[in-house]
Structure 1
Amino acid sequence: MDHDRQSERQSGASDPARPNSGSHGLAPELPRLPRTGDAIDEIARRIQELAHAKDRLQGLLRAVMAISGEQLELPAVLRRIVTTAMELVHARYGALGVLTEDGTRLAQFIPVGLSEEERAALAGVELPHGRGLLGHLIHEPGPLRVEVIPEHPASVGFPAGHPPMRNLLGVAITVRGEVYGDLYLCDREDGQPFDSHDEDIVVALAAAAGVAIENARLFDNVRNSAEQFQRLLLPSLPNLHPYEGAAVYRPATAPGQLGGDWFDAIMLPDDACAAVIGDVVGHDLQAAAAMAQTRNMLRALLYDRRTPPSAVLTQLDHTLHAITENPVTTACLARIEPKDGGWWFSWSSAGHAPPLLVTADGRTEYLEADPGLPLGVDLDIPRPDHRRELPPDSTVLLFTDGLVEDVKRPIDAGLAELAELAGANSRLPLEKLCRLLADHHPSDGHDDIALLGLRMPAAPR
């Protein structure tokens, strides 16, 4: 047996239950397991990191959705980009600088995060133009992280009254491959400098911001072109002697809103003045095109027939029904003519707001009468005519509901406010009066505005 044990030792065999401590054994060394407590701590740390990364990705997704939403007004989009970036990395301050066309300096600077006291302290101080550290990012548009702003070689300090700022994270925003501007974030709320994770997430946001900015710019271009097209469809008032005429058109303040509001006034061969205000239902290019078609048809009918307003509107309704598919339209058609040393005002309404009469001494009166049905509703119901004598130097105002309508209050309140404003300014020149009413209208601005004013001569005929 002793000989057998010696053979086992020489051959290197060992008891399988005993660990092989030899450095040249065939069995590999097993890794040394950490203590149980350390392993649990490591697993908990990694789970926490994964949860934090998931939260940041979800935050980035929400941020991208926020700046790519329905709000397409460019100023609102730019400000939303700054506030969203601040929320992502918990920055105390943020700003977005928009570059000039040549990309050499800042043309616009949008700061966010300043308190009222900090804004007051900066009163009178010019916004940055892109020098110092901000200029460094303009000329070298890569991501920039600075732990101590005053110690950076490009730093030139802050102007008087500027709040102290220590850390900076700057990222360029590109649109169609060109640098549009720079996003600046300062001072994390926890006092720590911005890290690589902050940089990565803001760079990702900047990519989405570039798309949102381009969409907003395209939207502005389309809307401006459409608005210009609509204005070209509206006429310039001709000489209406002996009467005076003035008109104002204002688009809706809501983004993407076009309208079918229109006006017109012409002198007829029988020395009468015809005037009309109208509103095609809808807020798009189709409404604007229908407006132009309706106005042109009405002008031809007015010049040819010279009949009472009700008959002209009736013929217009039949013509539109026969050869177009235009939407429902409201209108008020008036005819002013001299008679017996004064002036008669005849009108017929197709579901439109009543004209407002303003005398030279400031008295006001809405010419309430049967409004009739809008165009495109029922061809068989007759349209009424109305008539009123106008005093010298008086003014008649025809307007669309966008001038007085506010969804938060009754329309009568807007009508009363308009009458009060017009009466208080009745002695203004007609063009100034119309502009004042359009500038200080009592509506909420959700609809476009058309206003047509006609003033009688100051002395009897």
Structure 2
Amino acid sequence: MLRRRPPRSASADDLLTTLGRLTAQAREGAEKQRARVELAEALQREMLPAVLPQMPGLRTAATYAPARHGLDIGGDWYDGFPLPDGSLAFCIGDVQGHDVEAAAFMGQIRLALRAVAVHAADPGEVLSRANDLLISVDCGLFATCTFVRVDPVTWELSSARAGHVPGVWATVDGRSGIADDPGGLPLGVVPGEGYPVTRRRLALAGAFVLLTDGVIEGPSFPIEAGLQQVTRLVSANAAGDPATVADVAMSVAELTGHTDDAAVIALRFDGAADRPG
């Protein structure tokens, strides 16, 4: 009768060799991931504008917070630029996905919006044309966005949303609310999508705040609770400078336990009696 030899036990040297190989592989993978995260964050910060445009009677500020754990960089952006007719345009958005690809797509969206807005100042038309342009390049990603135009003659704020979270507003007389206006699908989903435009007269001094869902949603907060908290803080600071308004709005991200990156634009406008001219 043949007896089977018991399996040979791994020696301490074998175990150490295996452990060393696995550790090296893990370290290499971590280093590659860290490099991608650092590249994405660098792209993100370089493509965000250093300053936003302003005009007499309208002051602006913005702030950006990277992802809490460094893994969700690249999705959120904001921008602001003058239009040929003297109006100012502002936009904010969130790209599907994260990392380097999302940061690069974010740059494409910003350029597309700027290019289109030169020939179509109406926010709904801007989003519609940008949507078709992004679909035509077939990148496979989509993005939410809010586009706002402020007319310095009529002091009308017109806005359109492409699947993006609402903004909030407040005036110095104590009124405030959530700008949950009608909108369309995110950019890059369906060709020919239409985007309704909402128009507001900026008669009283106050603030209008655009933000991304990284500010108002997290493991500890549903979006509705986050929006209500931002509205309360913006209302309490509606008479302050725009940097303060942006900072208090961004502070809500610390309450939500967010893991995503986050962005805020604050438009602080004077009342009709306080504007020059």
Same topology, TM > 0.5: yes
Equivalence for 1:319:
133
Q: Where does 1:80-119 land on structure 2 (aligned, <5 Å)?
A: none
Amino acid at match of 1:427: A
* CA displacement, residues 105-149 of structure 1 (integer Å, 9 cap, x when unaligned): xxxxxxxxxxxxxxxxxxxxxxxxxxxxxxxxxxxxxxxxxxxxx
Q: Deviations over 1:340-394 (max 9, x none)?
A: 5xx1111111111122112234532112221221112222443211111123431
Asked whether 1:234 is paired with 2:42, we answer no
Instruction: After TM superposition, give the deviation of residue 428 of structure 1 in Å.
Output: 2.9
AA in 2 matched with 1:454: L
**Counterpart in the other structure of 1:400:** 212
For CA contacts below 8 A with separation 6 or more, give which structure has more relative contact order: 2
Please say which of residues 365-374 and 430-439 is displaced more in the overlay: 430-439
Structure 1 residues 296 and 421, CA gap change in structure 2 (3 angstroms)? same
Q: Which of 174, 186, 194 does residue 382 from structure 1 map onto?
A: 194
Range with bigger deviation, 362-371 or 351-360: 362-371
Q: Percent identical across equivalent pairs?
A: 33
Q: Which whole-Å deviations, capped at 9, do the CAs of 1:200-243 have from their partners, x for residues lacking one?
A: x9xx9999889877865665454233312211011223432122
Residue of structure 2 in register with 1:123 after alignment: none
Residues in 2 aligned to 1:229 and 1:409: alpha-carbon distance in whole angstroms: 29
CA separation in 1, counterparts of 2:66 and 2:42? 10
Report the secondary structure of 2:119's partner residue: helix
Asked if residue 455 in structure 1 is aligned to residue 235 in structure 2, the reply is: no
TM-score (norm 2): 0.82
User: 8 Å contact 2:237–2:244 — kept in the other structure?
Assistant: no
How big is each residue's C-alpha offset from its partner over 1:38-64, in whole Å with a ceiling of 9 and x where there is no partner?
A: xxxxxxxxxxxxxxx99xx8xxx8xxx
Alignment CA distance shift 1:362-1:236 (3 Å): farther
Greater Rg by CA: 1
| Runs of at least 5 residues in structure 1 that lack an aligned partner in the other structure | 1-52, 62-200
Deviations along 1:295-337, whole A, 9 cap, x unmatched? 101101112333x111111111111111242411111111111
When normalised by structure 1's length, the TM-score is 0.51
Residue 25 (structure 2) pairs with residue 223 (structure 1) = no
The one-letter amino acid paired with 1:447 is D
Instruction: Indicate the SS of the match to 2:183.
Output: coil
State the aligned residue count: 260
Q: 1:355 aligns with which of 167, 191, 194?
A: 167
Q: 1:351 to 1:239 in 2, by over 3 A?
A: closer
Contact 1:290 1:326 in 2 (8 A): no
Task: Give me the CA root mean square deviation.
Answer: 2.8
Q: Structure 2: any 5+ residue segments left out of the alignment?
A: 1-8
| SS in structure 1 of the partner of residue 199 of structure 2 | strand
Once residues 37 and 45 of structure 2 are traced to their aligned partners in structure 1, the CA distance between those partners, rounded to angstroms, is 12
What secondary structure does 2:102 align onto?
helix
Write the distance in 2 (CA, Å) between the matches of 1:248 and 1:381: 30
Q: Is the 8 A contact 2:216 2:222 kept in 1?
A: no
Q: Which residue of 1 aligns with 2:233?
A: 421
**Change over 3 Å in CA distance of 1:300–1:207 after alignment to 2:** closer
Match of 2:4 in 1: none
